[in-house]
Structure 1
Amino acid sequence: MFEHESATRRTVLKGAGAAAAATLVPMGVSAAESEWTAVESPTGNTLHDVADTAAGAYAVGGGGVALRRTATGWEKVFDGGPTGNGNNLYGADVTDDGKRLWVVGSSGAIGEYDVETGVLVDRSAPNDVTNNFNDVSVTGEAGSANVYIAGDSGKIYSSFENGVEGSWDATTPGSGSAIQAIDFFGPRSGHAIDGNQSVFVTDDGGTYDKIGIADADVSLYGLDSDAFDDIWIAGGNGTVFEYVDTQWVSASTNDTQLQDIVVSNGSGITVGGGGGVYVYDGESWEPSATPVGDNLKAVIQGSVDIAVGAGGTILER
Structure 2
Amino acid sequence: MTRTTRRSMMKLAGASLAAVTVPATVSAEDEETRWTVAETPIDSTLHDVTHTATNAHAVADGGLVIERTDAGWEVVLQGGPTGNGNDLFGADVTDDGERLWIVGASGAIGEYDVITGNLVDRSAPNDFTANFNDVAVTGPAGDADVYVADDSGSIHYSFENGEEGTWEYEVPGSGSGFPAIEFHDDRAGHAIDTNGKVFATDDGVTWNPIGIEDADVTFYGLDSDAADDVTVSGGNASIFEYDGSQWIPESLGDADLFDVETEGRDGYAVGGGGVIFEQEDGEWTQNATPVGENLQAVDRGSVDLAVGSGGIVLER
User: TM-score, normalised on structure 2?
Assistant: 0.89
Measure how far apart 1:35 and its partner are: 1.2
Matches within 5 A, 1:197-276: 197-276=196-275
Cα deviation, 1:258-301, whole Å, max 9, x if unaligned, reads: 00001113211000000000000123210001100000000001
d(CA) in 2 for partners of 1:68 and 1:76? Answer: 6
The amino acid of 1:171's aligned partner reads: E
Q: Secondary structure at the match of 2:236?
A: helix
Q: Is the 8 A contact 1:34 1:288 kept in 2?
A: no
Measure how far apart 1:306 and its partner are: 0.2
d(CA) in 2 for partners of 1:246 and 1:190? Answer: 16
Matches within 5 A, 1:64-103: 64-103=63-102
d(CA) in 2 for partners of 1:303 and 1:131? Answer: 35
Structure 1 residue runs without a partner (length 5+): 1-30
The amino acid of 1:174's aligned partner reads: G
User: TM-score, normalised on structure 1?
Assistant: 0.89
d(CA) in 1 for partners of 2:185 and 2:282? Answer: 27
Cα deviation, 1:134-173, whole Å, max 9, x if unaligned, reads: 0000000000000000011000000000000010011000
Q: Is the 8 A contact 1:59 1:68 kept in 2?
A: yes
Measure how far apart 1:44 and its partner are: 0.4
Measure how far apart 1:32 and its partner are: 6.3
| Residue in structure 1 matched with residue 103 of structure 2 by the alignment | 104
Matches within 5 A, 1:1-317: 35-317=34-316
d(CA) in 1 for partners of 2:253 and 2:60? Answer: 27
Cα deviation, 1:241-265, whole Å, max 9, x if unaligned, reads: 0002411100111101000001113
Q: Is the 8 A contact 2:93 2:137 kept in 1?
A: yes
d(CA) in 2 for partners of 1:34 and 1:178? Answer: 37
Cα deviation, 1:179-227, whole Å, max 9, x if unaligned, reads: 1100001111000000000000000100100000000010000000010
Choose 1 or 2 for highest CA Rg: 2
Structure 2 residue runs without a partner (length 5+): 1-29
Cα deviation, 1:21-68, whole Å, max 9, x if unaligned, reads: xxxxxxxxxx96981000101110000000111011000010000000
Q: Secondary structure at the match of 1:131?
A: coil
d(CA) in 2 for partners of 1:188 and 1:245? Answer: 18
| Residue in structure 2 matched with residue 19 of structure 1 by the alignment | none
d(CA) in 2 for partners of 1:283 and 1:130? Answer: 40
Structure 1 moving runs of 4+ over 4 Å: 31-34
Q: Percent identity over the alignment? A: 59
d(CA) in 2 for partners of 1:34 and 1:224? Answer: 23
Q: Secondary structure at the match of 2:101?
A: strand
d(CA) in 2 for partners of 1:246 and 1:259? Answer: 25
The amino acid of 1:108's aligned partner reads: G
Q: Secondary structure at the match of 1:178?
A: coil
d(CA) in 1 for partners of 2:178 and 2:251? Answer: 23
Q: Secondary structure at the match of 1:268?
A: strand
Q: Secondary structure at the match of 2:185?
A: coil
d(CA) in 2 for partners of 1:146 and 1:127? Answer: 17
Q: Is the 8 A contact 1:219 1:236 kept in 2?
A: yes
Alpha-carbon RMSD:
1.4
Q: Is the 8 A contact 1:34 1:290 kept in 2?
A: no
d(CA) in 1 for partners of 2:32 and 2:217? Answer: 31
The size of the alignment, in residue pairs, is 288
